Structure 1
Amino acid sequence: MTDIKLDILPQRSAVMADHSTELYALVRAQAPSRPQGGEADRIPLNLALVLDRSGSMDGRPLEEAKRCAGYIVDQLESRDRLALLTYDNRVDVVVPSTLVSDKGQLKRAIDRIYSGGCTALFDGWQAGALQGLEFAAEKNLTRVLLLSDGCANVGPTEPDEIVPQVSAALARGVSTSTYGLGHHFNEELMVEIAGAGGGQSYYGESAEDLLDPFQEEFSLMAALCARQVKLTLSAPEGIEFELLNDYRELEASTWQMPDFAYDGEAWALVKLTVPAELPNPQGNADIELLRAFISYTDVVTEKPDTRSYTLRLPRVAPDAWAAIAEDERVAGRLQEIRVAQMQREARQAALDGDWARVDAIVARAEAEAGDNAWVKEALESLKRYARGRDRERMSKEAMYMSRKLHHRLAEHDENARDYLQDVESTKAGYLRRKREQGKRMDRRD
């Protein structure tokens, strides 16, 4: 059984007596360290790798995509399944879903892929989902890995046509991760597909950057210890709460959280408003502020499990409350969420061509980041793109970094003030804090 630890950290360890109080609370679900020898116990994988082979992929991009496909083959075991598909204006099932018993045959099939015509992105995804669905089961992780370097221009092309289909596939056990390549793909569509599909969204700025996200994805899939994670929040009457992460809401006050992976912390930041007149039937006892409940499927036991936690705090005089130090962990995540929102605003301003507004928003984000070393480093790339008035790069990096700040798995008790890229590069891919989402970890330019 996987021992998931759930708790709630308050921004301050009390609320004000006889005054309305606004404070933030960090809901943390911490996965255990990987058990010794646990690599052999990872969940079996049922993957459909769907590669764009449209004309714009000709040359180095397609060769790098094929190298990434070969990397995936190398990581799989005989108990895993893989389907290989390509698409341009039509879809080819290069290798139907098969057990990975002959890696040489799979690699020869990859080598024979060549570039073609247009971009039937939805048709490619749909064919991959059907391959995965045929062998989807509770005991395996079924996922479509969808790569594109362009905009969908054949068949369904709009999010409102594609995203409901992806969400429906997830309900049937087929998740989706997306990989954008270059400067001309539709990042909004790719991010929405991954969000609706319960997977990850990545991009590589160049062909040389593409392998990094594939490595990150596989490190995550190989380390999963709990899946199908749902968070439900509730509070006593009179207390208002707001979830600040942009997790997908499944129903009222219930959200889809990231899957749990060994050594990682999934989290949610909640804004609480506590009224001055809140009744306290137990006199001077601590008052209940927030209840968190998570449900998930344990990868080890293949059975459902739950955890719950209730935040209770005392009421103190306003001057005593003001003297209480803020929890640095809560403050750090609040900085990340606020900067993420500013990045989205800066992205929209760049798309509108309002570069003066972009500069002003990025400056505000820098001030908000304070001593959060990683976030300040990440903002340097946005400043560089803003100085160069580079609309496409600004748009993509701001979108993917913003999503990362909302959805990332963190290390246990991570320190926001400490950031060294050399240290980050030694971590598991899914726990690394990259300076720039679209570049491989060792690139500085």
Structure 2
Amino acid sequence: MFQKILVANRGAIARRVIRSLRQMGIRSVAVYSEADKDLPYLAEADETYAIGAAAPLESYLNQDLLLQVIKESGADGVHPGYGFLSENATFAARVNASGARFIGPSPEWIEAMGHKTRARETMARYGMPMSPSSGLLDEDWTATLAAAEKIGFPVLVKPAAGGGGIGMLAAHSAEELQNAVTQARSMAGRSFGSAEIYLEKLMVQPRHIEFQILADRHGNACHLFERDCSIQRRHQKVIEESPAPRLPRTDVEAMGDRIVQAMEASGYDVIGTAETLRDRDGLFSFLEMNTRLQVEHAVTEEITGIDLVAAQIRLAGGARLNEVIPSQPQINGHAIEVRIYAEDPVRFYPSPGTLKTLRLPSGPGVRVECGFSEGNRITPYYDPMIAKCIVHAPDRAQAIAGMRAALEATVIEGVKTNIPFAQKVLADATFASGEVHTGLGMQILGQ
């Protein structure tokens, strides 16, 4: 078991990991940039280290500085959280080479799944269903158009690296495709350092269903059910829930079992999330594998009672799956999460500023993960998420009602937030019916 773990992240996820470390009796090491020196997670860690200026490249993405902290602190493990270096195979390999252990999948798996076209090729070999797609596109417009016509319009232009919906653009015609390819290359290059893109069939009103995977280093894997992440704004998740509403359990369980079989056959390890789309005919299609803890992991924790952070740490340390979780995990009730962002609720532009008032909800069934305290500043340097609110209830209707009450009780002043958008979705009759799809959020907003 680990003795001391460096949390190579910030804010809410750093705070979340530190909480599990304390419960496990493992000492925690926190790092912070100049912009984060007043955030509350620092007071909750056993040790803290300043790692540079506010810009991520000079702090949380600076591998040399983080490796130096590993050496100075004597940490024998590194938890990367999500974002930043959590899916960076080079960093994972360097951590392991330093004598510490990267708390995530093996670097080989991070590398294999970090590139979307290679990930699709890998998972196709293990029987995962795939929607039609192209290989990597070169600069030959004739070949690009031919690939799109072979797939059939509409298509989605997607960066091969990165995530979070950045650079994903729809094209319904050849003219739209040419513009989308140019824009997607530019966005991908700026955001991920790679301008590689490919095409994928654009499904009409699909469901975004993802499966939480745990696996040990001894060939065993399992899924902890699914999360429905269909409520999005511009391809980025805003509301997640589990179990997925109005889906046959037999269909969902069959897909989950299929993914587990692929994970065991391939030798995948520690933690991951298999993301899929489900079309209106009920067919699943593999999208990608996220080789890290997800932002929305708390939804699964609430319905299963399993601490995913603790499980991830123990599996990375070599524990067997049956030592970490119950042999037959069960779904208990329903959980919904809303991501609360400092952003304009209509145009979704970031809204940095000082949190002059920060009153978050509490009560039975309500859980809040927040990286800030009143008076802290939401800076333009990082993701503008303020908090995640999770509500667990006996059924979906009660979870929705509880979330509506929780958001009504939330008071945030000093920045704009997306709470009005979330409230519109939660009050919508189509959402309440469970007939959700990836375009519903923007449809409710009238966009």
Structure 1-normalised TM-score? 0.27
- Which structure has the bigger radius of gyration? 1
> Relative contact order (C-alpha < 8 Å, sep 6+): which is higher?
1
Structure 2-normalised TM-score? 0.27
